[in-house]
Structures are given as C-alpha cells and as structure tokens.
Structure 1
Amino acid sequence: MKKLLTLLLTICLFQYISANDFIIVSPDKNLQVSVFLKEGTLNYNVNYKGKVILEDSPMGMITNVSDFSKDLVFIEKRDQVVNKTYSEPKIKKSHVEYLANEVVYTYQTPQEEKITVTFRVSNNDIAFKYALAQNGETARCIIEKELTGFKFPQQTTTFLTPQATPMTGWMRTKPSYEEEYIPDEPVGTPSKYGVGYTFPGLFHVGDNGWALISETGVSSLYCGSKLSEGTKEGLYTIAFPEEGENNGIGSAKPAISLPGETPWRTITVGDNLKPIVETTIAFDVVEPLYEPSKEYGFGRSTWSWLLWQDGSINYEDQKTFIDLSSELGYELVLIDNWWDTRIGREKIEELAQYAASKNVGICLWYNSNGFWSDAPQGPKNRMNTSVARKKEMAWLKSIGAKGIKVDFFGGDKQETMKLYEDILSDANDYGLAVIFHGCTLPRGWERMYPNFAGSEAVLASENLIFTQHANDTEAYNATLHPFIRNSVASMDFGPVLLNKRHNRNNDGGTERRTTETFQLATAILFQTPVQNFGITPNNLVEYPPFVIDFMKEVPTLWDETVFIDGYPGKYVILARRYAEQWYVAAINAEKEIKKLKVKLPMFSDTKVNIYSDRKDRSPQLEQVNIEKSGEITLEIQSGSGMILKN
C-alpha cells in the first residue's frame, strides 16, 4: 500500500508547464509551487487553495567563482516522494510522519557550471535549498549574495522582529535576538534599525492566508541568515549577517566546499493559523549529525538568579534552590553567572554532591566570550577554544553536572555557527546538555544535535525584572510566541513568575500585571525540553496548594500539540498532550474579557480540572463535566489565563 501511494503521488504531483517551467503540488493538492525560468533568471511562486501567497519571487546566487543569477539554462529534473517517520521528544510533537514531494532541478550557466535547487512540498510546508557542483579544479567558493526572495501581495501585513545593529546595547552584546515585534504592519515598512529582520517572520496575506518564513539545517558549514528590509512592492530577500557582528571577526559571507549546499529555506502556509502553530518543518528536513553519548534527560529546573539576581550566587542560596527543586520534584537546578568567583569550584563540587543526594542535577552558566562583547560575567574564556572547553567539560563530567547554559554570542556569521556546533559536539562527548542564551534562533538543532536543550532568542523573562514596560506588555508578547518564535524552535523563556513584585522579597521592583493563572498557562504555551521556571521558595506558602501542585506535575516534553484558536498579539488557546494527559492553555492580551466557544474533542464526555481567575483575579480550581460534543465556553479576563486538564 505504501509503495502504491508513493507511485500515485509521483504520477500526479509533478506537472510540466513548458520545457523550462514546472509545478509541484502537495499531497493534498492544496499547496502549489511554480518554478520557472524568465529570461534566464530563476523564479518561483506559491498558491494555496487557488489563492496567491507569494507572487513571482527571485532565486539564485552569486559566488566568487560563478554567477548563478542570470543566463541559466534548464538541464534536468529528478523527483521522488519522501515518506518518512521519526521520533524526537524535544519538539512539539514526539512522533512525526512526514510526506512530501521532492524535486531536484539542475540548471547551468553559459560556462556549464551547474546549480541544483531541491524543493520539498508537503501539505502546508515548502522547503528548498541550493547545491553547487565542483567545476574543474575549483573546490571552494564564497557565496557573495543569495537572491532568494519572498514577494508578498500588497494587502499583506507583517509580524516581524527587527535585527539589531551589531556591537550595540548593554556591554555591546547585540544582536541578542531580544527585540520587540510589531503586529500587522504593512509590507515594506522600514525596520527599527535598518538591517532587516530576524527569522522567523509571520505574514498575513489578507483573505488569502498566512505564511511563516524561516530557515533550518544551519550548521558550521554556513552562516545564519535573516530577512532583508522589505520593498514597497512586498519583496523580502535572504540577507547575510552584518560585517560588524562577532566584533568584526570572520566573514559575513559564507564559504562552502564544492560540491556543497546551503541550508533549507522554509515556508509554512495555511488559510488559517493552525498549520503555522503545528508545523514541524524545521525538523522534517534535517537529520542528527552525531549519536548521543548517553540517553539525555530533560525536565524542570529552578533558577535563583531570575528573581534573586546576582546576590543569590552564593553557597547558601544555591542550597536553598536545590532544596526547592527537590521539594517540587524537579530534575534540575541552574546556577547562574559569577559562580566561579562567588562560590568557587570546590564549593560547586560540594553543591553538586548535595544536589545529587536530593536527586537534583546541577547546570552551570558560562560566558561564551573570547572577544566579541564586553560582558564581564564569569566564567569567561572556558567555552571559546577547544583546549579550554574540553578541560572544563571533563571537570563538569567529573562532578556529575547535567548541563551548561552558555551566554553572550556575537551574531550569525559562519564563525559563530561553528562555535555553537563545537560547544554542542564537545559537550556531547562529556554527556552534557546545552542551553544557549544571548543567542541566535535554533535552526533544526533539536534534531541535529541530540544534547541541544534549547535557546533563548526572545525577549525573555529577565526583562520582566529589568523594565516595567516588559510587564505592561507581557500578555501581548506571550500571545505572539506560539505563532512565531516558538513555532519553529524551542524557546528558553524562563516562565512562571509567581511573585507579584519582581525582587527577592516580593516587595519592590517591577510589578507583574498578569494573573497567577496566566503565569501557570505559560508553562504549557512556551515549549522547550528544559524549563527554567521563575518559582521562588516563598511561592510555596503564598498560594493555594493546587497552584503549587500544578507546577509539580506539569511536564516539559510533549507528544502532541494542537492549535485551538487565537490571533497573534491578542489571544491564544493551545492544547498539548503528554502520554494520555491533555493540557489546554488559554491567555488573553486584549483589554476586554474574551468569551469564546471552543470545541475540545480531547475532553469529550470527560470531567476536567479548570484553573481560572475569580473576579478579584485570584486563582481558583473547579471541576467541570464536558459534554459529549466537546464544546465549552471559555471566559478569560484581560491579562489572565485558563487551563483545562484531564
């Protein structure tokens, strides 16, 4: 049966328009990609259910040895159906079945230099990449420019976050991928800093549908890319890093050996937001780069630094948070910056032993730095060179550390991508999981690197401590992430801050505007295999037992994710399943109460626990019987949330 399905797809999903023009159709025939030559230049467009998502958009590249942007001639086409299944516990869906139509087109220049373009088209996703052949004795090239573009119709609005200018911000640590999103902007609106936009980018093509643009499969063999500034006509193109990134060290242009290829560019398309939220394309087209050295464990962690800040980096406070993790049944504790000087290695070894006696594993923070920012926090110069890194990791293994958090990277150059990969690969040799902060977007890394546990790359929870503005806009930002940033990769946000005031004693500093139930909901909405929660010891006695019991039980690994309803920047309702247990989380960022009738078939004819807020915004827990239809009306206050759990 599987072979018959593959044959039928092969017959019906590849269509010729003319000798040089082709159409690729998705398995369900709703998504259509046209690839064609126009006066020797390569172009493509995208339609979904007969409506235009991308107008004619350019393709091709210019290298230092050949120009693949003009005078191209079609040579050949190869096609197949890709039908595979894989398991990956660290993403939004643990078991994935991927069915796509793959076509490889080969073109050549007047000098007979060949470039191939591989397209994979599944029901709601497009992935494509370039490959260059070796030409004579030339076995290397520099990609001077990639012409790949995404031309949207004029009615399109955007949900984008600007790329920051390099070597700016606090201690010259930008870009740190923590800029704000602007919703529903017209295409072509200039970005805040004038250097384009960070992946991923969400586009609302009016009544025609939605598109999420990103990339995946970026390793040490290429740079990370971004979207250029948009034109008034709606064209955004692939752009390489800025020259000033990484303190100006390393080329902004990627270099590849020949034969060689680029990462995948991805486009997720739908006439609603469900395919955008549920996509797994970032992982569908990549493969693991090495075998895990052990079976890695992920899970929940406490983290003193978030609310207790630098002053908590001492032996006694860290024991307190080890005890907190133990009481909550959490697997981990994170000891943040300055531990090398404020606690010292001998005392860290003692803490590791104490944590092990409580069935808690320790993770330690590191500064990635060699020379790319002025961030002073230590330990420094332990992760930036192979010799120092392996010595440090051998010590970490010897004390039983479970993982590391590495912070303050310098951009997206190939030089920096190599550092990410070197840290991950070496850490695997020593059985260490890795989280990155002050860093770029992960691009398929959950599948590519078995010990990768997540990245920040978002305006994360530490900003709630730093500015009141972040608190005032917390609900708005939280309703964006499931549609954009967290849709394509794990997101180490550091959620669930139950203190009403963001300081150690819960009596000063910035003020939380959202409710406790909202905070609990973010434990479900924000997906990453290791969650560094913002819970503090006082929370255990300040809130009803059902609040703390929820946090003791909530998982960080999910078997299934289902989008229920929402609109980016306004509200979101999302369901996740772990084993047989379903969690449905809803939050509201709008000023008015949100009353929504939704269908939750996973709760059909079932008694569920509902966490919500009273009129005074205090948390409450009720049990409700859901009808056989699965329908229920949710009423969510502004800045509040709801959770349903079977």
Structure 2
Amino acid sequence: MNKNFYSACLVALLMLLGTPTGNAKTLQVVSPDSHIKVSITVNDDVTYAVDYHGKPLLAPSRIDLLTRQTPSFTQSAVVKNIARREIDRVLSPEVKVKSQSIRDHFNELSVSFESGKHITFRVFNDGLAYRFSTDVDERLVVTGELAEFNFAGQAQVYFAEEESFYSHNERSYTVTPASEISDSQLGSLPGLVKTDAGNVLLTETALRDYAGMWLSGTGNNALKGTFPRLPTKTEMGAPPWEDRNQPVTERADYIAETTGSRDFPWRILAVASSDSDLLTNQLSYQLAEPSKIADTSWIKPGKVAWDWYNANNIHGVDFKAGLNTETYKYYIDFAADYGIEYVILDEGWYPLGDLMGSVDGFDVPEIIAYAKQKGVGIILWATWLTLYEQFEEAMDRFASLGAVGIKPDFFQRDDQEMVNFYWKIAEAAAERNLLVDFHGAYKPAGLRRTYPNVITREGVKGLEWNKWSDESTPEHNTTLPFIRMVAGPMDYTPGAMSNAVGPAAFEAVTYNGKDENHKDFAIRFNRPMSQTTRVHQMAMFTVFESPLQMMADSPTRYREESESAGFIAKVPTVWDETIPLHGKIGDYVAVARRAGDNWFVGAMNDEHPRTLPLSLDFLPEGRFDIVIFQDGINADRWAEDYKVIEKNVDRSTVLDMTLAPGGGYTARIVPHND
C-alpha cells in the first residue's frame, strides 16, 4: 500500500434528480467491515441513526444548519443528487503522534440539494462523522446548528461540566446518566458515552472560521450540541490579570458569519467495543484539513525543561534562583546534559503587558545564544491578549531573538473570533519556523494537521493542579487517555519527582479522633508533589501523547533523581506504532509503543492495587534487553519507592506486574547485542 497516496479509490456515483420534498427517502452507508451501519432519512428534516454490531447505538437524531438567509438547512429543499464513494488510502502524519502511518478507509455518502447545500457522512471501522457544506454566492450568518445525539439504550456520560463558555477547558470527568443532564448544564468536548451497544466518543475536527461545539443535556436519554455565539462586548480582567483575561459580557444572536462557499466542521462519533480501542482512534486527524506547510523538516518534536511548575526552585548553586539569566543557563546545562531538546521561558521573561520590553537581570538574547551553543532550543511564553495587541511586531521579535517556538496562554474561548486567532497564530508562526504550544486552550480540533507546527496544546487538567488542589488524582490520570487524548495531543506536563500517596489512595486512618486520610499528600504551590507513585509519573511519558513533552520538575530534583530522569530523557515523544495492552477507563491503562527498533511500555493505575500481565508478544522474533521501573514493595506507603528490573526477554515472555495504589510501571526494550 502506497503511503503517499491512495492505494485504492473506488468511486460509485448514484444520481437521483429532482427528488421532491415530502417524499421521504432513507439511505444507508456502512463501514468497510460492515460493523457500523448509518441510516439517514431525508424528508422535511434530516435524521440519522446508528447500529453497531447489529445493535442500535443511536436512535434517529436530527441535524440541521440554521442561517439567517435560510432558517432550516433542509426544510422545503429538493434533493439534487446523492453520491457514494469508498476511499482506502494511507496517510503519513508530519508529526507521528501515535504511528508513522494511518489507514484512512471509509465509505462516504453525500446528499446535495438544489439550494447549493450538502450533507456528507463518512463511516469508518472505528466511527463515523458528518459535516455540512455550502456553495452559495452570499456570505452566511449562521444563527444555530442542530446536533442531536439520541441514544438507543441507557447511556452513561463522562461529562466535563463547565460553568460557562469562558473556560480553560481543564475539567474532571463525572459519570452521569444522560437522562440526568439538563439543558442548562454545559460540558466541553470531547465527551464519552457508554451504552449497551458500545462506547461513543463525541468530538469535532476541521474547526475553522466557526465556533466550537459543546454539549448540553435534554432531560432525556440524549445530548445535544451547543455553541458560543460571537462576542460583541468584552471586559478587561481585574488586576493583576488585565494582560490575559477578557471575559465576554455580551454576545450576538448568531454563532458565525462566514463565506457562503465552504465546508463546515466534522461532527465525530468515535465508536469502540472496548475502552482500549479508543487509544488508537485517529479520526480527529484523519478528517482534518491536510497540511499547508510544504517543508516540515524544521518541526522537531522533543522534551522541554519547564520552569513554572517548579517555581524555579533550584538549589545547591552559588547564585540566587529566580527569573534571571543565571537560572536559565542552569536549565540549559541540565537540558544539554540529559539530551533534552528545549527549555521554556514561561511567565516573567518580559514585563507583563509588553512583549517588546525587557526585564532587569533577564538577558533573553544571551540566554538564547547560550542555548544554541549547547544545542538547546528556547520556547517563549506569552499571554494571548498581549500577543493579539502586538501581533506582527511580537511575532517578528520571537523570530529575531532566535526562539524555536511560542507558548501563547489564557485564551479561555473558542467562539469564531478566537478560533480564527488560533489559525492566525499558527500561520504566522509557520512563516517564521516557530512551534506553537497553545495553553489555556480548547481541545485539539484539526489545526494540528493543517499546521503541524501546532505541536501540542493544553486543554486538560494536568499536573499543575496539584499546586492548588487535590483533583489531579490517579483516577483522573487513567481517564484522560480514553477521552481527552482521543481528540489529540495533550500537554499534561508530567514528571513530578516529589511523590506522595494521594488522599484517595491512602488507607483512611483515625488518629486522636481526626481523619488522617490526607496525611501523605499536601497541596504546595511552590514545591508541588504528585498524588501518584514515582513510577506512575514516569509511565506518563509513554502513555500520554504530546510531541512536545514537558519535564515539569526542577532540574535540581532531576539531577538528584538521575536514575529516574535518565530513563525519562530516553523516552521518545513521537511513535512509529502504538499497541494497547490493557485499558479500563478510570481504572488502568497500559500501552506499548515503538520508535525505530526500540519499544517502550507504560502502565498507570488508579487508587486500587492490582496485578496486570505484561505479555511481550508484540515484539518481533529475536532476543531483547528490558529495563523495567516498577513500584517498590513499600510504594503504597512511600510513593517514591521503586525497583529496577533488568532481564533478557523475547516475544514469548510474560511478566506479572504489580501496581501499587496510584502506581504503575514503565519499561524500555531494546534489541539484544550478542
């Protein structure tokens, strides 16, 4: 199969001219393996229903695009033609998040109306998607979009509930019956729904010049899409956040004003029989717009020594640690010594509110020059609002300084205006050969394929939450790969070397009449710790996908824990192959990933101890050397306890791996050299 183009393209067209409105027509399109069947009914409205392995998954659900010019997309419309095709091709991602190639195999059905409007369905073996398209001369004002998800059986929703559309999208997932989610509740994407027929993950891609989709309930066994309307008035954030916060105080009565000839975003329903199957789903990438960057050779994935999480708490040096040149040279020396590709200059490298200014004692040109001598790239942080206000001159300054990337932060919106600013940043950064790591961001929705320099993004409740809360739990960590990570890379920022058994994992005891459930983990802003074992944190570098992967703890701590840090530094950030080993959402996850001839395995556990078999049958023939970091026998009491196992193995080897509460294991497997 040719990786660069279609290996097969079977196209069959069925033309049905002049089908009148009121003459209901039901059409079907199935997945290539025939396990997913989508039934579309075109009448005065359009509905679709989904069967999975012969069981009803989605009951008839309406879809519609409402514009000021045409209140309903389909009402009183005449079907002009119906086209079908099958595509089977191989995609080669510019940035190999899960694999070096993706089989893109689907059956497609497109319904075109005489009004110049179209609806297209694509059905894959692991899900389906639909989108609207228009081909009209006038600009469109989209007043609403109808996206119903009526589940055929009782549905349990992993719901990321939000307070408003103004959000960092950093939420925990609560499991709630769909029937108990009201239309006043708001949840961000992606969302996962469990039904008797299978898992359905809802998300979107190819989000461009449009508002992002969110979810709300109906009071029944259903969800529906909802969208932030275009802002008409904002207010400045209260000090000291006036350089980054811009809450919306008034909105228009429409969600987008856009060109009349375009494709709208894909609505994705990723479908899986098992939780583990979600770990390899790549529909968000497959359905996105292809890359607009001709030469992507300068886009280099790698790890980043990060400063903000650890509050620059280095020690054992003869200078004052902080926001100064000496401290960042220390970070650069650490990165160079451990083979880490990048160092980030987070908040404090410029006087807040002025990206063109300088800070006393912080010589950014000298830091970047020093980093280049050491073979380390520098990434610069910025608030989105200051970047917006100084855009062209700021982007030029990033490039002239010699930075290799930027980390714009605090967006907190995905209305049409803000979505367009993401695209503007991505394009301008690509023109200057700059990587982009969006923070305070909405979920990945296709931009990373169109502009592969958008190498990762936040939009996830990550490690930093341990600085001010106890919500970044092992259960949360073992939920993310099955929901948030399906949408795309997530900058969780792993790697804590200060580890404690968290509140949920520690055996509750009473001492002198007081509950001592929190006796190990403590919330500490400047010297944070994880609620997991050491090995759980190390395993994140294999389990969590981010081509730009942060090492969050202090370089001093990493040097003190050089055995752990040395292992982490050798874990790649992009992969040629991904194989799920075990997975149950919110309980445990284990994956094997290949980079070249080397394999890495990562496993993460929730708050309950368990044993999982590690079968190495994914290996090719031959002998291999394995190095395993496993929870120590006392890791349930002292979370930094671990042991290292080294063995000679082959594909017939099966190991029983014991995982402590909040624990895990991680391994590196390399061909044996005789």
- TM tier, shorter chain? 0.7 to 0.9
1:544-586 residue CA offsets vs partner (Å, 9 max, x unmatched): x432221221111111222221211111112221112111111
* Residue of structure 2 equivalent to 1:363: 379
Counterpart in the other structure of 1:171: none
Question: In the superposition, relative to structure 1, how do residues 85 and 627 fare at CA in structure 2: closer, same or farther (>3 Å)?
Answer: closer
Matches within 5 A, 1:22-421: 22-38=27-43, 40-66=44-70, 67-68=72-73, 70-88=75-93, 89-107=95-113, 113-134=115-136, 139-166=138-165, 174-183=166-175, 185-190=176-181, 194-206=184-196, 208-219=197-208, 221-227=209-215, 229-241=216-228, 247-248=248-249, 251=252, 253-286=255-288, 287-292=290-295, 295-308=298-311, 312-341=322-351, 343=359, 347-369=363-385, 381=386, 383-385=387-389, 388-421=390-423
Shift of 1:639: 0.6
SS at 2:566 equivalent: helix
Tell me the number of residue pairs that the alignment of Structure 1 and Structure 2 aligns.
601
Contact kept? 1:334, 1:532, Cα under 8 Å: no
Aligned to 1:535, the other structure's residue is in SS state coil
Q: Which amino acid aligns with 1:635?
A: T
Q: How much has 1:274 moved relative to structure 2?
A: 3.3
User: CA 1:635–1:10 in 2, change beyond 3 Å: closer, same or farther?
Assistant: farther
Report the Cα distance in structure 2 between the residues aligned to 1:297 and 1:390, rounded to whole angstroms.
24
In structure 2, the CA distance between the partners of 1:195 and 1:345, relative to structure 1 (3 Å rule), is: farther
Amino acid at match of 1:161: A
CA contact (8 A) 1:164 1:179 kept: no
Counterpart-to-counterpart distance in 2, 1:298 and 1:5: 32
Structure 2 counterpart of 1:609, from 627, 639, 645: 627
Distance, in Å, in 2 between the alignment partners of 1:41 and 1:6 is 31
Contact 1:59 1:148 in 2 (8 A): yes
SS in 2 for 1:60: strand
SS of structure 2 residue aligned to 1:312: coil
Of 193-202 and 323-332, the range deviating more from structure 2: 193-202
* Residue matched to 1:375: none
Paired residue for 1:169? none
The 3-state SS of whatever aligns with 1:416 is: helix
Structure 2 stretches lacking a partner, 5+ long = 15-22, 235-246, 314-320, 352-357, 501-519, 636-640, 670-674
SS state at 1:33 partner: strand
Task: Provide the C-alpha distance between the structure 1 equivalents of 2:448 and 2:222, rounded to a whole number of angstroms.
Answer: 30
Residues 64/329 of structure 1: CA separation in 2 closer, same or farther (3 Å cut): same
What displacement does 1:74 show? Answer: 3.2
Q: 1:256, CA displacement in angstroms?
A: 2.1
Aligned to 1:568: 585
Alignment of 1:401-550 (within 5 A): 401-467=403-469, 469-470=470-471, 473-500=472-499, 510-543=528-561, 545-550=562-567
1:289 positional shift: 3.3
Deviation at 1:596, TM superposition (A): 2.4
Change (3 A) 1:614 1:346: closer
* Partner Cα separation in structure 2 for residue 633 and residue 346 of structure 1: 51
Q: Secondary structure at the match of 1:548?
A: helix
Question: Does structure 2 retain, via aligned residues, the 8 Å contact 1:602–1:630?
Answer: no
Aligned-pair identity (%): 26
2:238 corresponds to: none
Q: Deviations over 1:128-178 (max 9, x none)?
A: 1001231xxx51111111112111134211112013325xxxxxxx41101
Is the contact made by 1:589 and 1:638 (CA closer than 8 Å) also made in structure 2? yes
Q: Is the 8 A contact 2:201 2:269 kept in 1?
A: yes
Of residues 475-484 and 147-156 in structure 1, the stretch that sits farther from structure 2 once superposed is: 147-156
Kept in 2, the 8 Å contact 1:41–1:72? The answer is no
Q: TM-score, normalised by structure 1?
A: 0.87
Query: Structure 1: how far apart are the matches of 2:526 and 2:212?
Result: 40
Alpha-carbon contact 2:618-2:651 (below 8 Å) kept: no
**Residue type of the partner of 2:300?**
G
Q: 1:290 to 1:607 in 2, by over 3 A?
A: closer
Bigger Cα displacement from structure 2, 549-558 vs 307-316: 307-316
Letter in 2 for 1:450: P
Return 5+ residue gaps in structure 1 as ranges.
13-17, 167-173, 370-380
Shift of 1:73: 4.1
Name the CA shift for 1:628/1:579 in 2 (closer, same or farther; >3 Å).
closer
